[in-house]
Structure 1
Amino acid sequence: MNRPSLNIRIPSSCLETTKIFERPSTEYIIYQINAENELHASKVGHSFSLDAFLSDLPKDQCRYALRKISYMNPDTGTPMHKNVFYSWSPGGATETSQELYSEARERVLLGDVFKEYFEETVEAHDYDLIRDNDLLNRHREWSP
């Protein structure tokens, strides 16, 4: 089996799209590595719905995502959010794709694109992990 290339390029257009995540109206951004080994945003979600987010994660292809998790501060009742980086690697994805995304993950996380935008990372292999009530409850309980 041929090993995928780890020479992932992050074009300036990807950096510009990621800045959109700072806007209150942007709830999530889905990223993919294209055939030229460039990381780019494939979807920007503006109105949050867990089902919409999940439908934008293909069941047979790997992706990365930034997502705002909204919750209420249990002490003050103030609306809060936490930014989460997802590494999506479903069982239906090819082994080559899973390996590429797994090995490129650290470069992407530590590079200039994401490091200032997320507070937690989640590795997910199926939709149920993202839907998991314990995970969502944990996000609701975070304090600033």
Structure 2
Amino acid sequence: MASSGVKVHQNCIDTFQELKLGKALKYIIYKVSDDLKSIEVVKQSEDADYDNFLKELPEDDCRWAVYDFAYKTADGGDRNKIVFYSWAPDNARVKSKMLYSSSKEGLRKVLNGLAVEVQGTDLDEVAHETVLEKIRR
């Protein structure tokens, strides 16, 4: 349970394991449920198009996401890292930002295998090149 009292729904963990081990899923979007009691999966997708993933992040509300980020190493090898996104756009309500901020650790703790965390308040901070640069560090 997160410090906010919001519980992580078991489906969040199961879907993450599917992404991590099954390699079919490309990303998962999570949100706080409408009754503010749990974290739930909003969308899971096999679509590898990064721009389509970004379109799933709302302009005026917070979300968390996990993305299986594929990239090439300096020597040309193929690699993947699972990236955790904490999305809190500038035009989200303050109450929503506070709830998501205080609930984030509860979700992160149960998602074993995350390599990188990206915090985004606008699309520039979650752009492909920006995330790739952070992964390669």
Greater radius of gyration (CA): 1
Q: Distance in 1 between matches of 2:64 and 2:130?
A: 22
Query: Structure 1, residues 87-131: CA drift from partner, whole Å, max 9, x if none?
Result: 000112111100000111122222x2x1x1311111110111111
TM-score with structure 1 setting the length: 0.83
* Counterpart in the other structure of 1:108: 107
* Counterpart in the other structure of 1:81: 80
The SS at the match of 1:86 is strand
The structural deviation recorded for 1:134 is: 4.1
Unaligned runs of 5+ in 2: none
1:56 maps to 2:63: no
Q: Distance in 1 between matches of 2:100 and 2:87?
A: 9
* Counterpart in the other structure of 1:12: 10
| Aligned with residue 124 of structure 1, among 120, 123, 128 | 120
1:54 partner amino acid: L
Q: Distance in 2 between matches of 1:72 and 1:138?
A: 14
The SS at the match of 1:20 is helix
Q: Distance in 1 between matches of 2:6 and 2:130?
A: 34
Q: Distance in 1 between matches of 2:23 and 2:55?
A: 21
- The structure 1 segments of at least 4 consecutive aligned residues displaced by more than 6 Å after TM superposition are none
Checking the alignment, whether the CA contact within 8 Å between 1:25 and 1:47 is kept in structure 2 is: no
Cα 1:6/1:137, change in 2 over 3 Å: closer
Q: Distance in 1 between matches of 2:63 and 2:49?
A: 18
TM-score with structure 2 setting the length: 0.87
Checking the alignment, whether the CA contact within 8 Å between 2:8 and 2:106 is kept in structure 1 is: no
* Counterpart in the other structure of 2:33: 34
- The percentage of counterpart residues that share the same residue type is 28
Unaligned runs of 5+ in 1: none
Q: Distance in 1 between matches of 2:4 and 2:89?
A: 20
